[in-house]
Chain A
C-alpha cells in the first residue's frame, strides 16, 4: 500500500515536472513532502554542504525524461536500418569556408532551376531598385550630401504641391494671381493636363534651386572656416597661454632672455661637495677594500660548508617566545660538540689572522713603495695627462664624446683608476723615448673592434709591442660599453682574440714571451670588465686542450705534454682568477686538467720533464694560499727524483704511473760529467728551451738538467712547508724522504746543489710527528617524543592529508575511479529497469488490444 501510494505521488510529481520545470521546482522545494533532508551527524565548521537537501521526485522525473529521450528512442529504432542522409552540398566538408559553401549551393540551385522554370524568363538580369532608382547607380553616386533640411524636404511635399493636390482649384488660382508670368498667361485657359505638367516643372525647378542654394551655402561655410583659421593665427600670437595649446601653429622663437631665465632656474645649485681625499685616506680606503676582498676570498676558499652553517635553520622550540632573545648558541654548540676540533680550528683561525696581518703588512709595505713610485712618477703622470689632453684636442673629438669619456672615467671604479695609473706608468716609461713618441703619433686614435681574428692579427701585424698595447688600449677606450649598445659583445670578442693571439705567439718557433708578458695587462683589464665572457673563453681553451689530449690517449694509448701555449694559458688562468676558491668555474677544471697532465703524459724527453716541472710549480702556486693537497704533484716530484738517479731497483718507495720503476726513459736527469757538474750555476730555466732544446750543446743540456733538479728540490721544500699541517704529512712525504736520505749520493753534487738538497731535506725532517685519534662529530641526539601537539597546516578541508604529492594523486584517482564505477553500475541498472518497464507496458498494451479485438469478434 505504502509503496503504491509513493509511486502515485511520484507519478504526479513527474507529470508536474514535465510541464514547467522552474516554477515546479520552486514549488516542490517549498513542499516538505517532496524534500529529503540528509541529516548530518556532526556539524563541522567550515565545511560546505552541497547535498544536505535532496529532491528525489524531481531528480527521478528528470532521469525518466532523459531516458525516454535517449534510451527509449534507441530501443525503438533498435532493428531499423533506415538512415537519414544529409545531401546538402558540402555540409560535412570542413575545408570549404561557409561563404564559399553558400555560393556553391546558390549556383547549384540556380543550375537546377535554370533548365526547367526559367525558360520563359526573358528578363535575365533583373535590376534591383530602391525608390525607383537602380541600386547600382546609387552605389556609383559618391557625393551624397545629407543634411537635415534635405530629408525634411524629401519627406514632406511642398506646400504648393499639397495645395494643388488637395486644395482643389482655388489654390492654383491664388497662385496664378501672385505670379506675374502667370498673369500674362492667364488669358489662355489651361487644361488640366497642362496644369499638372506645369506643376511638375515647377517642383523640379524648385528642387534645382534648393540644390544650388545649398551648394553655395556650403561653399560659404568653407570659406568662412578658412578665413577664421587665418584670423585665428593672427589672434593667437598675442596671448602667451594659447602658445602651448595650439600645436599646429608655428612656434614663435623663444625670447633669449626667457631662455636664460629658465636655464638659470634649472641649473644645479652649488652643493657642498665631498672634500678631496688625502693620500692617506685613499690608501686606507684601498686597504679596507683589499681587506674586504681578501675576506671574501677566504670565505670562498673554505667552500660551501660555511655557507651551509649559516643557512642552517635554527631549531625553534615550542616554548620559544620569539622575542628575538637568543643565547650565544654557536659558542655553546662548538664547546659541546667539537672538543678536540675546536682547538684546532681556533688555532687555524689565529694562524689565518696572523697570515692576514702579515699580508696586510706586506701590502702596506708595497703600497708605501707604490706611493713612493707614484711620487717619483708624478711628473711623468702630469706629462701624460697633458699629453692626453692634447690627444683629445688634436683628434677633433666632439664635445659629446669627450663628455662621455669623462663619464666613463667617473663611472669606472677606483680599481680601474688604479689600473689606469698603472697604464700611465707603463706609458711613461714608453713616452720617455722620443722615437716611440713619434711612432705613436702615427697611429690613428680611434679603432673599431676587429670583427674576426684575422682582422685583429692584421691590425697588430708589423707593430712594436708598445704600439700593439696602445692599439689595444685605444680599442678599449673607443668602444667602451657605455658608448654604444653593441660594444660589450665586441669587447668580449676582443678578449678571445687576445687569448688566441697569445696562444699563437707562444707556439712560434721562437716564442715571443716578452710580448705575451705585456699583453697580460689588457687581458686582465678586459677580464675585470667582462668576467663571464672571459671565463667562457678560457674554459673553451681548456676544454679544447683536454679533449685533444683525450683523443690522443684514445688513438695512441698515451698522451704527450701540450705545447707552450697551453702552459701559458694555465698560467694566465691563475693570474685572472682566484685559485684558492673551494670551487671555481674556471680554476677547478684547470686543476683537473693539470692533474691529468701529470698522471697521463709520458715522460720521454728532457722537455717533458721541464714542462712537467712547470706544471708542478704552477700547481704549487695555485694552492699556495689554500694549501690544498695535490697527490699528483708529490708523485711527479718523486718520479723526477727517481729519473735523476742511476738505474737501480727502486727500494723503499714506489713510483706511480707516468714513471716506471724499470724500463726506458730512466736517467733522464742523470749527470755524470764532472766538469759540467762543477761549472754549473743555478740559472732560471728559459721557457723557450721547451722548443729548442736540440740546438744546445751537451754541457748546456747538462746544466739544464741540474737546474731542473734544483727546481725539484725547491719544489719539494715548498711542498713540505705547505703540507706541514696535514695530519698524514709524514706518510705523504715518506717516499721522497726515503729517496733523499738513502739513495741520493749528495757528495757528488756541486756545492750549490747540496744547499738546495739540504734545504729540502731540512724541511722534510724537521717536523715533529703528531697524531691525535680521530673523533667523529657527535650525532645530534634524537629528541625525545614530546607532548606538544603536532601542528599540521591544513590547506583544504575534506582532502586526505599525508603522503607525497604522487601518493595523494594516486589515492585521489583511485577514489574517483571507485565512485565513477559505482555510479556507472547504478546507471546501467536503472537503464535496465526502465527498459523492462517499457517492454512490460508494450506487452500489456498488446494483450489488451488482443483482448479488445477478440471481444469485438465475439
Chain B
C-alpha cells in the first residue's frame, strides 16, 4: 500500500523545506492505475496544499514561469514559494483530469479536493490584491472545476448532483453561472450549431436545479468570509439575476434535442422566468417553441401565458394557434392536465367572440370521440363551463327553430381558421353520442346536455389530474348489495350465442 509512504512524504514536505522534492512522490501517485492509490493521493494532496495555503507558503500574485523564477533575482524564500505554487498548479491540473476518471469515487474525491482548494483560496487568495479591500474569488480554479463537470461526450449527472451542495453558496453559484455562460459560448462556437446531446444535458442538469434567492436579505451564505461584502457585486441580487439571465439565454440560443426542449419548457415558467431581469427576452425562444407543434407547443404555452399575462406581450393570432394545437393527441399526452388548465385560463375571458369559443367547443368535443374516459370526465365539465361563460354559444346545445334534417354537420373540422369553421351553425352531436358511453360516469356527465345548465361553474381543478387507474380503483371499491347475474346458461368458454370470439378464435 502506498498509504504509509504517502503519509511519510506528506510529513516530510510539511516538516522541512529541504524535503520539498518529495512532493513529486505524491503527485506521481495521482496518475496511478490503482483506484485506491489515486484516492489516497488525492486525500494527501488535499491535506498538503491545504496546510501550505494556510501557512501562506504558496506564491501569490502573477506567477512567473518556472525557469524565469530560477534565473530571476528572487530570494530563496520566494523561489521556494514560486516552485511550490507550480507544484500546486500541477496538482490542480491532474485533479481536473481526474474529474473524467472512470470511477465515480475518484471523480467525487477529486471534485471535493478541488472545491476544498476553492474554499481555501477564497480564504487566503493567491492573487495579489489589486486595491485594498478588493475581494478576489478564485475564478480560475472554479472554471477548471465547472469545465470538468460538463464534459462533452459523457453523462456526468451523478457528479453534478454531488456538486449541488456547493451551489448553495451565493458566490459560488454566481461564478458558476458566469463560467457556464462562458463555457457554452466557447464550446458551441467550436461545434457550430450541431446539437451536443451529452454536453447540453450536462449543462442542463447543472443549471436547472439552481435555486435563486428571492430577496437580497436571504443571501447570507458566502464562501468568501469578508466583512465589506456590501460593496461587492456578488452580493447584489440584481447581478445574480443578470448572470442567471445571460446564462439561460446563451444556453437556449442553441438548438436543443427535443427531450431537453421539453424539460426546459416544463421548468421554464416556474424556475426560470421569475428570476430573470427581463423575462421578455424569452419571447424568441418561446415563439419558436410554440411553432414546433405537438407536445412542445403545449408546453411553450405556459411560458407564453406568463409573458402575455404579466409582461404585456402581444401575440398575434394566439387563439388561432391555440386552436390549431387541438389534435387527437391532446387527450392522450402526459401534459394534458397542464394544457387544459391553461386552456381554461385562456378561454375564461368573457370578451372572446362567440364564434371562437364555439369553434373550440366543437373541436374539443369532436376530438373527445377518441378520448379515454378519464379525459372525457374532465372535458365534459370543461365544455359546460365554456357554455356558462359564453351564453351565446348555447345554440350548440339548444337550437329550437333550426333547420331540421341536416345531411351534414355544418362544422368544418379541417378549417384552420376558427371564424370560418361554421361552428355556431352546428350542434353538439358528439356529446349526444357520448351519452352512450360505456363508462356510467361519462354517460351521466354527457347527459347534462339534455338539461339546461345551472349558473354555477363546475370546478374542474380536481378532474384535471384524473388517471385511469384512479377511475378503476374508484369503481372496484364500490360495493353493492346484490350482484346481478347472467341468466343465459353457459355451455363453455365460447358457448354464448352471438359469440364474436368464437367466430374468430379457436381453443387450440
Contact = CB atoms under 8 A, between A and B. Distances in A.
Interface of A: 290, 293, 296-297, 300, 303, 305, 362, 366, 415, 418-419, 422, 513-514, 516-518, 520-521, 524, 527-528, 531-532, 534-535, 539, 542-543, 546-547, 550, 568, 571-572, 574-578, 581-586, 588-589, 591-593, 595-596, 599-600, 613-614, 617-618, 620-624, 626-632, 634-635, 654, 656-657, 683-688, 707, 711, 714-715, 718, 726-732, 768-777, 779
Interface string B119-160: 000000000000000000000000000000000000000000
B433 A726 contact: yes
B64 to A, nearest CB: 58
Interface stretch (B73-81, B166-174, B257-265, B489-497): B489-497
B348 interface: no
B438 A629 contact: yes
A415 B487 CA distance: 9
Given A577-B484, A592-B471, A771-B409, A624 B500 contact: yes
Given A513-B493, A568-B493, A581-B484, A687 B508 contact: yes
Contacts of B450: 776-777
* Best-buried of B476, B495, B497 by chain A (most CB within 10 Å): B476
Given A592-B373, A656-B329, A685-B505, A732 B433 contact: yes
Nearest to A512: B507
A550 B443 contact: no
B427 interface: yes
Contacts of B219: none
Interface in B455-502: 468-469, 471-472, 475-476, 478-480, 482-487, 489-501
B500 A771 contact: no
Nearest to A516: B493
Given A632-B372, A727-B429, A728-B369, A771 B506 contact: no
Interface of B: 327-329, 331-332, 366, 369-373, 396-400, 402-409, 427-430, 432-434, 436-440, 443-444, 447, 449-452, 468-469, 471-472, 475-476, 478-480, 482-487, 489-501, 503-508
B128 to A, nearest CB: 56
Q: Which 9 A-B pairs have the closest CB atoms?
A: A686-B508, A773-B402, A684-B506, A773-B399, A628-B438, A771-B406, A727-B429, A657-B332, A531-B483
B409 A731 contact: yes
A584 B484 contact: yes
A774 B428 contact: yes
A572 B480 CA distance: 20
B443 A726 contact: no
B182 to A, nearest CB: 37
B496 A596 contact: no
Contacts of B491: 521
Contacts of B439: 588, 591-592, 595
B369 A685 contact: no
A419 B489 contact: yes
A629 B504 contact: no
Given A614-B505, A656-B328, A777-B450, A592 B500 contact: no
Given A571-B501, A629-B434, A656 B370 contact: yes
Contacts of A300: 484
B370 A514 contact: no
19 contacts: A296-B484, A297-B487, A362-B497, A520-B492, A520-B493, A524-B489, A535-B483, A546-B476, A575-B495, A595-B438, A628-B437, A686-B507, A728-B369, A768-B407, A770-B405, A771-B406, A774-B428, A776-B451, A777-B452
Contacts of B484: 296-297, 300, 531, 577-578, 581, 584
Nearest to B436: A629
B366 A685 contact: no
A687 B489 contact: no
A593 B430 CA distance: 24
Contacts of A518: 492
Nearest to B372: A599
Contacts of B430: 728, 731
A631 B369 contact: yes
Interface of A is mostly: helix
A684 B483 contact: no
Given A568-B493, A578-B486, 17 more contacts: A297-B487, A543-B472, A547-B469, A584-B484, A588-B439, A588-B475, A589-B472, A592-B471, A593-B472, A595-B468, A600-B468, A617-B500, A728-B429, A731-B369, A770-B407, A774-B398, A776-B397
A600 B485 CA distance: 30
Contacts of A581: 484
A654 B506 contact: no
B436 A726 contact: yes
A303 B483 contact: no
A300 B440 CA distance: 12
B427 A773 contact: yes
A613 B501 CA distance: 10
Contact of B483 (A586, A730, A768, A773): A586
A571 B496 CA distance: 11
A251 B432 CA distance: 84
* Best-buried of B438, B484, B496 by chain A (most CB within 10 Å): B438
Contact of A290 (B369, B487, B505): B487
Contact of B478 (A527, A585, A772, A777): A585
B408 A771 contact: yes
Nearest to B407: A769
Contact of A577 (B409, B486, B492): B486
A595 B372 contact: yes
Nearest to B496: A575
A579 to B, nearest CB: 8
A726 B404 CA distance: 17
Nearest to A510: B508
A772 B327 contact: no
Contacts of A776: 397-398, 449-452
Contacts of B331: 656
A623 B489 contact: no
Given A588-B440, A617-B501, A773-B404, A631 B372 contact: yes
Contact of B476 (A542, A683, A771): A542
A623 B443 CA distance: 14
A771 B443 contact: no
A11 to B, nearest CB: 70
Contact of A591 (B438, B469, B500): B438
B504 A513 contact: no
A715 B427 CA distance: 29
Given A524-B490, A532-B483, A685-B505, A774 B373 contact: no
A772 B491 CA distance: 44
A490 B505 CA distance: 35
A631 B508 contact: no
B158 to A, nearest CB: 21
A599 B505 contact: no
Contact of B486 (A575, A583, A626): A575
B407 A578 contact: no
A576 B447 contact: no
Given A521-B492, A595-B373, A576 B406 contact: no
A618 B402 CA distance: 41
Contacts of A593: 472
Contacts of A707: 504
B506 A685 contact: yes
A712 to B, nearest CB: 10
B323 to A, nearest CB: 16
A187 to B, nearest CB: 113
A568 B497 CA distance: 18
Given A550-B469, A774-B428, A776-B451, A628 B405 contact: no
A773 B401 CA distance: 9
Nearest to A624: B498
Contact of A772 (B404, B408, B482, B493): B404
A571 B493 contact: yes
Contacts of B468: 592, 595-596, 599-600
A531 B399 contact: no
A585 B480 contact: yes
